[in-house]
Chain A
Amino acid sequence: SQQGEEDPQALSIQEGENATMNCSYKTSINNLQWYRQNSGRGLVHLILIRSNEREKHSGRLRVTLDTSKKSSSLLITASRAADTASYFCATDPFTYALNFGKGTSLLVTP
């Protein structure tokens, strides 16, 4: 399977703490994207990292990509209750389709 797979499946932290989610995949990729989904809602694009990039920042988000290990991580710093959502990595394996993982469910408690 070319799908991204996130871990942990669920993560519970307190406001102000950092949240780290990991994604592993199996084949070569064009790029990797992270999305957020609030319960029952649409997918919000967070960040895209190309295969030749190793790290990328956007606000409180930091994404790393290690193509040798076929893995990526998403770090959310200084988390807020509003960050509570499911987070998905989606790999682009040089096709039109994005392959999504099952997601990490993040709960941030006040």
Chain B
Amino acid sequence: EPEVTQTPSHQVTQMGQEVILRCVPISNHLYFYWYRQILGQKVEFLVSFYNNEISEKSEIFDDQFSVERPDGSNFTLKIRSTKLEDSAMYFCASTVYRDRGETQYFGPGTRLLVL
């Protein structure tokens, strides 16, 4: 069964460094998402992406964050200058369409630790 994959599974970085988290959505899916989950807290929406554009973003997704689909398979989340509070599990998700019956399929996550 097709699944969303994410790399790396774990990333440790120093505060102020740039990180890029990578995702490969399910191949025929058209809508892509990033969420994050700070340890012990709920999953929070960051951004959605369709047709090479951001379709929606949350207040969390400030100028330090960016997303890109550099080729036909990868979807990336870049954090330009990481902060301690960026430490979280980051999940990528994808859907075929965006209508009332679509399931968002999540990847296994990247655990980011900012020191």
Contacts and interface: CB of A to CB of B under 8 A. Distances in A.
Given A42-B109, A96-B33, A96-B48, A33 B43 contact: no
Contact of A45 (B44, B104, B111): B104
Nearest to B41: A102
B15 to A, nearest CB: 23
Interface string B91-109: 1000000101111111111
Nearest to B92: A42
Contacts of B43: 43, 88, 90, 98, 100
The 4 closest A-B pairs by CB, nearest first: A97-B45, A96-B48, A42-B108, A43-B106
Contacts of A98: 33, 35, 43, 45, 104
Interface string B25-47: 00000010101000001111100
Interface in A26-61: 30-31, 33, 35, 40-45, 48, 50-51
